C-alpha cells in the first residue's frame, strides 16, 4: 500500500532547504508526495517564528490538523523548524495532535526519529541541543526546482540583532566543511542543476567559527571553479561583515551573480545602534560605494523594518532618505514585530500599530519608485536570462531571471526553452516588479 507525505513549509530559504531534506528522507523511507494533506500518512509543518503574523498562521494550521487527523487515523503530525525550537515541550502539552517535534539542529536525523515513533508511538521532541552540527546529509534530495538548488553552508547566527528571534532558535554559527559543500554541488550538477544559492543567516562570517579569515571569499572561488555551475547566489549577507575582499572576489568571478542583498534594516544610525547591527549609516553607504566601485552594474536589494521601538518620525525619514540615496533595485519591507525573549520586546516607546502601518505605506511608495527607475535603465539592453518555465498566469508567456534576479517575461516562441537554460532577452518594457522583452 502506498504511504503518502505532505510538507507545509513556512519561513525563509533555510526552511525551504530543510523541507527538501525532510522530503528526501521520506522518499528514502518509501513515502510518496501527495498535494492533499488530508490523505497524507505523515504531515510535516515546518515552522517560522520570525514575525507574529507567521506564528499565528501556523498555529491556525496546527489547530486544523486535529480534525484532519481524526479523519485519517494513524497519520503522524510532525512540527519542525523554528517554532518547534521556540516552543519546545510546551507544544506537545498544548497540542495533543502533535506527535513529533523536531528542533532545527536535527533536520537530518528525522528519518530515524520517525521510525522510532512508528514502532514505539511515544510522542516526543528532539530539540535541546543547538550546538550540534547537523549530520551531513547522505540521502536523496527532493528539490522543488529542476535546475536551482539551495545549499546550506552554515547554520545559526551569532549576531543577536535586538529585534530578532533567529539566534535563539537556530543556535550559534556552525560552518560546514568546504569539501562537503563542493561535493554536494558536484552531485547536484551531475543531476542537471545549474544555479546554486549558498545559504546561511550571515554568509560573510562563514568559517569564522573555525578561526578562518575570508573563508567565504575562498568558498566562492571553489564553487566558481566547479564545472557545470552556471550561477552562484548567496543569502544573507550582513553589511558589517561583507569585506572588500568578498566584493573583489565576486567582481572577478565568472559565475557569482552581480546581485548584492545587503539588509540595512533602518536608515537612522541611532536605530541601527539600538538594533545592534554593528554599522552606522556612513559605514553602510561606504559598503554601497565599494560594491559600485568593483561592480558598477550591481543590482542592490535590502531588508527594511519600520516601527522599531523608539523610532521617531525623524529616524523614519532617515530611512526614506537612505532608500532614495542608494536607490535599491528591490527591498523587502517589514513592520516591526515584537518577539518575546528578544531585547527589543522590552524596550520602551513601542510604536503604535497605525503609525507603523502608515510608515510602511510611505516606505513602499518610495521604494516602488526606485525599483521602477532602476528597471527602466535596463530597457534596450539584451540580458542573459535563466529560464524558469511558462508563466503561471499565462502559459504562452515564458518567465526567467536575470543575473541580478530581476523577473523577466517574454512571449514563447515556436520552441520552448528548457528550464535552467540561458537565453538572450532584449528588454522592451520596465515595470516596478518585472521586465518584459523578446528573445533575440
33 vs 160, beta carbon nearer ligand SAH: 160
Among the residue ranges 139-147, 331-339, 355-363, 364-372, the one whose residues contact ligand SAH (CB under 6 A): 331-339
Angle between the N-to-C axes of helices 13-28 and 110-120, in degrees from 0 to 180, rounded to the nearest 10? 50
**Cβ-contact 5, 33 below 8 angstroms:** yes
Per CB under 6 A, the list member of 92, 151, 161, 323 interacting with ligand SF4 is 161
CA atoms 192, 195, 198, 201: torsion sign: negative
* Subset of residues 188 to 227 that bind ligand SAH, contact rule: CB under 6 A: 201-202
Grid coordinates given for 392: 503561471
Strand, coil or helix: what is 303?
A: strand
CA 319/CA 440 separation, integer angstroms: 40
Residue 15 binds which entry of ligand SAH, ligand SF4, ligand F3S, none, CB below 5-8 Å type-dependent: ligand F3S
**Do β-strands 195-199 and 231-235 pair in parallel, antiparallel, or remain unpaired?**
parallel
Among the residue ranges 58-66, 79-87, 225-233, 334-342, the one whose residues contact ligand SAH (CB under 6 A): 334-342
224 vs 241, beta carbon nearer ligand SF4: 241
Among the residue ranges 41-49, 70-78, 126-134, 160-168, the one whose residues contact ligand SAH (CB under 6 A): 160-168
Per CB under 6 A, the list member of 40, 45, 82, 247 interacting with ligand F3S is 82
Number of H helices, E strands in the chain: 13, 19
C-beta neighbour count of 56 within 10 angstroms: 9
DSSP characters over 412-429? --SSPPPTT-EEEEEEEE
**Residue 405: left if φ>0, alpha if ψ -120 to 50, beta else—which one?**
left
CA 437/CA 384 separation, integer angstroms: 12
* Subset of residues 13 to 72 that bind ligand SAH, contact rule: CB under 6 A: 50-51
Per CB under 6 A, the list member of 305, 360, 385, 407 interacting with ligand SAH is 305
Per CB under 6 A, the list member of 265, 268, 371, 406 interacting with ligand SAH is 265
CA 440/CA 427 separation, integer angstroms: 10
- Write out the E strands in 48-104: 76-81, 100-102
**Cβ-contact 69, 75 below 8 angstroms:** yes
Per CB under 6 A, the list member of 40, 45, 49, 114 interacting with ligand F3S is 49
Per CB under 6 A, the list member of 263, 309, 404, 420 interacting with ligand SAH is 263
Note whether 62 binds ligand SF4 by CB under 6 A: no
Residue 160 binds which entry of ligand SF4, ligand F3S, ligand SAH, none, CB below 5-8 Å type-dependent: ligand SF4
Angle between the N-to-C axes of helices 281-294 and 313-326, in degrees from 0 to 180, rounded to the nearest 10? 10
CA 63/CA 194 separation, integer angstroms: 40
* Subset of residues 202 to 261 that bind ligand SF4, contact rule: CB under 6 A: 202, 238
11 vs 152, beta carbon nearer ligand F3S: 11
Q: Which residues bind ligand F3S (CB under 6 A)?
A: 11-12, 14-15, 48-50, 81-82, 165-166, 169-170
Can you give the binding site for ligand SAH, defined by CB under 6 A? 12, 50-51, 163-164, 166, 201-202, 236, 238, 263, 265, 303, 305, 334, 336-337, 339
Q: Which residues bind ligand SF4 (CB under 6 A)?
A: 157, 159-161, 164, 166-167, 201-202, 238
Amino acid at each position: 500500500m502506498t504511504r503518502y507525505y505532505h510538507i507545509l513549509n513556512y519561513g525563509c530559504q533555510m526552511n525551504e532547504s530543510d523541507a527538501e531534506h525532510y522530503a528526501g528522507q521520506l522518499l528514502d523511507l518509501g513515502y510518496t508526495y501527495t498535494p492533499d494533506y488530508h490523505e497524507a500518512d505523515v504531515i510535516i509543518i515546518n515552522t517560522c517564528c520570525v514575525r507574529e503574523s507567521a506564528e499565528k498562521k501556523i498555529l491556525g494550521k496546527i489547530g486544523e490538523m486535529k480534525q484532519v487527523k481524526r479523519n485519517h487515523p494513524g497519520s503522524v503530525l510532525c512540527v519542525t523548524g523554528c517554532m518547534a525550537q521556540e516552543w519546545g515541550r510546551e507544544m506537545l502539552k498544548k497540542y495533543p495532535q502533535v506527535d513529533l517535534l523536531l528542533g532545527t539542529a536535527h533536520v537530518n536525523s528525522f528519518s530515524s526519529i520517525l521510525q522510532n515513533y512508528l514502532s514505539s508511538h511515544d510522542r516526543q521532541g528532539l530539540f535541546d541541543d543547538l550546538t550540534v552540527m547537523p549530520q551531513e546529509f547522505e540521502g536523496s534530495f527532493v528539490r522543488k526546482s529542476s535546475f536551482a538548488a539551495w545549499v546550506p553552508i552554515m547554520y545559526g547566527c551569532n549576531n543577536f540583532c535586538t529585534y530578532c528571534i533567529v539566534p535563539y532558535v537556530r543556535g550559534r554559527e556552525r560552518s560546514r566543511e568546504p569539501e562537503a559543500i563542493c561535493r554536494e554541488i558536484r552531485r547536484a550538477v551531475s543531476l542537471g542543476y545549474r544555479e546554486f544559492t549558498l545559504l546561511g543567516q550571515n554568509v560573510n562570517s562563514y568559517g569564522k567559527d573555525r578561526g578562518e579569515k575570508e573563508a567565504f571569499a575562498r568558498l566562492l572561488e571553489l564553487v566558481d571553479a566547479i564545472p557545470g555551475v552556471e550561477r552562484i547566489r548567496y543569502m544573507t549577507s550582513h553589511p558589517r561583515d561583507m569585506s572588500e575582499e568578498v566584493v573583489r572576489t565576486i567582481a572577478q568571478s565568472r559565475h557569482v551573480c552581480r546581485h548584492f542583498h545587503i539588509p540595512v534594516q533602518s536608515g537612522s544610525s541611532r536605530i541601527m545602534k539600538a538594533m545592534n547591527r554593528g554599522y552606522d549609516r556612513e559605514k553602510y553607504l561606504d559598503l554601497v560605494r565599494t560594491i559600485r566601485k568593483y561592480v558598477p552594474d550591481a543590482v542592490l536589494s535590502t531588508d527594511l523594518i519600520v516601527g522599531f521601538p523608539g523610532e521617531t518620525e525623524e529616524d523614519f525619514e532617515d530611512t526614506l532618505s537612505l532608500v532614495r540615496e542608494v536607490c535599491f533595485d528591490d527591498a523587502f519591507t517589514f513592520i516591526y514585530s515584537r518577539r518575546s525573549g528578544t531585547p527589543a520586546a522590552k524596550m520602551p516607546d513601542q510604536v503604535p500599530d497605525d503609525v507603523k502601518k502608515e510608515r510602511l505605506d510611505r516606505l513602499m511608495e518610495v521604494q516602488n519608485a526606485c525599483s521602477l527607475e532602476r528597471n527602466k535603465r535596463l530597457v534596450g539592453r539584451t540580458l542573459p536570462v535563466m529560464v524558469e518555465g511558462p508563466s503561471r498566469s499565462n502559459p504562452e508567456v515564458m518567465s526567467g531571471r536575470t543575473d541580478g534576479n530581476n523577473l523577466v517575461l517574454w512571449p514563447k516562441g515556436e520552441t520552448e526553452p528548457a528550464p535552467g537554460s540561458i537565453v538572450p532577452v532584449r528588454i522592451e518594457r520596465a515595470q516596478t516588479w518585472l521586465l518584459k522583452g523578446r528573445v533575440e
